[in-house]
């Protein structure tokens, strides 16, 4: 039997990168995936790939910076699928390297809203349904940047640090209902966002950089029954870029 047979998984930021790869992985493992992002064309492309492989997916074009869109994502998923078993808060913004003194306050707000506030509010909207079912998994995609500060990405690192803390706090609140909440902290991963804002050469230049599939495997583990002993945990996924190798 596939690991996520008959599960309903809601995945944000699923039009590309890690979110797209998680959606495809979950679908192959039997989940009905609901994918959301601002990029409708990207969502349709991902859905086409999943549907062509004989699996089922639904798309919801939405902007996570708007509370009404967050609520609509959940209501449409419940209407279409009846429940939500797995929530993957993957959507995020990587801003270019900018020192805080030069950072536009509007960019700060955008990064915090998408990377931290949206996962909190989306979890808030999903949790009543998980509590009613006495089961569920929430998986937050943070970053190794959330483990420490660093020059030029103040907003990004602050938001990802908050997401680690948010994971622990929600986990403490909902374990009694059979809900597990965990976090993945990837290091350099060859995604569109990484190539745009950090290194356009990606893995072509540095073979130590991870592939999105490697992060998707961790997400699959956390979404499956195999991780039943784990909650409130943040898993560092460094791959070959682990500092112990340097």
Structure tokens at 39: 């990029």
For residue 196, being part of any structural domain is answered with no
For residue 1, being part of any structural domain is answered with no
Give the domain extent around 23.
Answer: 8-185+211-234
For residue 206, being part of any structural domain is answered with no
CA distances from 202 to 145, 151, 237 (A): 17, 20, 17
Global confidence as pTM: 0.94
Per-residue pLDDT of the chain (246 residues; tens, 9 = 90+): 689 999 999 999 999 999 999 999 999 999 999 999 999 999 999 999 998 877 889 999 999 999 999 999 999 999 999 999 999 999 999 888 999 999 999 999 999 999 999 999 999 999 999 999 999 999 999 999 999 999 999 999 999 999 999 999 999 999 999 999 999 999 887 777 666 656 556 555 677 778 899 999 999 999 999 999 999 999 999 887 777 776
For residue 61, being part of any structural domain is answered with yes
For residue 123, being part of any structural domain is answered with yes
Q: Computed from CA positions of residues 221, 227, 228, 231, in that sequence, does the dihedral angle turn out positive or negative?
A: negative
For residue 159, being part of any structural domain is answered with yes
Catalytic (active-site) positions: 156
For residue 69, being part of any structural domain is answered with yes
CB 36 within 8 A of CB 11: yes
For residue 31, being part of any structural domain is answered with yes
| CATH (domain of 65) | 3.40.50.720
Tell me how far apart the alpha carbons of residues 144 and 235 are, in angstroms, rounded to a whole number: 9
Which residues, 6 or more positions from 47, have their beta carbon under 8 angstroms from its beta carbon? 35, 57, 58, 59
Q: Considering its fold, how many domains does the chain have in total?
A: 1
């Amino acid at each position: 039997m596939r690991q996520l047979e008959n599960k309903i998984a809601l995945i944000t930021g699923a039009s590309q990168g890690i979110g797209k790869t998680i959606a495809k992985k979950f679908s192959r493992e039997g989940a009905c995936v609901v994918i959301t992002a601002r990029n409708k064309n990207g969502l349709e492309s991902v859905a086409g790939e999943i549907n062509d492989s004989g699996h089922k997916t639904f798309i919801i074009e939405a902007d996570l910076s708007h509370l009404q869109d967050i609520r609509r994502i959940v209501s449409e998923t419940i209407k279409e699928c009846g429940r939500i078993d797995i929530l993957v808060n993957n959507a995020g913004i990587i801003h270019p390297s900018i020192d805080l003194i030069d950072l536009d306050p509007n960019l700060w707000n955008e990064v915090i809203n998408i990377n931290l506030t949206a996962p909190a509010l989306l979890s808030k909207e999903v949790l009543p349904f998980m509590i009613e079912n006495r089961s569920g998994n929430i998986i937050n995609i943070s970053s190794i940047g959330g483990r420490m500060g660093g020059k030029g990405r103040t907003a990004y690192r602050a938001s990802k640090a908050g997401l680690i803390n948010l994971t622990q706090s929600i986990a403490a609140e909902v374990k009694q209902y059979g809900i597990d909440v965990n976090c993945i902290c990837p290091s350099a991963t060859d995604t569109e966002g990484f190539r745009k804002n950090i290194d356009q050469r990606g893995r072509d230049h540095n073979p130590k950089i991870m592939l999105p599939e490697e992060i998707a495997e961790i997400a699959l583990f956390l979404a499956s029954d195999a991780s039943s002993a784990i909650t409130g945990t943040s898993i560092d996924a460094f791959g070959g870029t682990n500092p112990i190798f340097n």
